[in-house]
Amino acid sequence: MPRSSRLSVWSLLAIVLIVAAACGGGNDATGTPTTSGGTATTQGVPQLSPTSVAATATPALPTSTPTATTIPSPTATPTPVTPTPIPTIDDTPPLVVVASNGGPLGGTASVTIRTKPGQVCSMRFVLPNQEPTPIEGIGEQTASAEGTITWSWLLDPSYPTGTARAEVTCDRSRRAALIEITP
């Protein structure tokens, strides 16, 4: 028998069984199912008896291969993060340039730094042509109780214009601030 015919027979059989199950059993007054030629009837719908089902070969139903289910392992408890403390004046780097200001020839330039209170620092001014220039009054200074030092000096009219550097040294830390000199 062709495969499509076997599928049609089994499909018809499945439909009949589903309809029969949905309709309920046909019983006589004693509660016994009524039969007709080896086939039980339920409210006019024929049902196959067990002997008629056994007479035909039952094809093996396809089985699916069970797949393994992976159970996720519990996640590790997160390690609490220790907040970074807010720096105090003692935790500041040895030297930070806070501000630097240049200006026109004949004007005033300045550099402000922050370091540890009481720290002794020095500054050296280097012109745009890379020549260090001694400037009166900008040598060593001691940081205030707040840890700041400001150096101010006159931009001599004989200086070349361009970008100069103020090099500040505190202990072993050294920083440079750019100073723009304009005509």
Kindly report the number of other CB atoms within 10 A of residue 143's CB atom.
19
Q: Is 117 exposed, middle or buried (0-12, 13-18, 19+ CB in 10 A)?
A: middle
pLDDT-derived band at 130, boundaries 50, 70, 90: very high
pLDDT at 27 over 80: no
- Residue 133 is predicted with a pLDDT of 85
- Residue 53 is predicted with a pLDDT of 47
CA 130 to chain centre: 48
Tell how strand 103-104 and strand 173-182 pair up: parallel
148, 112 in Cβ contact below 8 A? yes
Give residue-wise pLDDT tens across range 135-176: 887 889 999 999 999 999 999 999 999 999 999 999 889 999
- How many whole angstroms separate alpha carbon 168 and alpha carbon 143? 13
Tell me the range of 17-26, 44-53, 168-177 where mean pLDDT is highest.
168-177
Full set of structural domains in the chain with CATH: 3-54 (no CATH), 90-182 (2.60.40.1930)
Q: Is 72 exposed, middle or buried (0-12, 13-18, 19+ CB in 10 A)?
A: exposed
Higher-pLDDT residue of 53 and 66 is 66
Higher-pLDDT residue of 11 and 37 is 11
pLDDT at 102 over 50: yes
Residue 83 phi/psi, 5-degree rounding, is -65, 145
Residue 42 phi/psi, 5-degree rounding, is -125, 105
Residue 152 phi/psi, 5-degree rounding, is -130, 140
- Residue 147 is predicted with a pLDDT of 96
152, 101 in Cβ contact below 8 A? no
pLDDT at 32 over 70: no
Query: Helix (H, G, I), strand (E, B), or coil: what is residue 25?
Result: coil
Segment 14-24 mean pLDDT: 67
pTM, two decimal places: 0.50
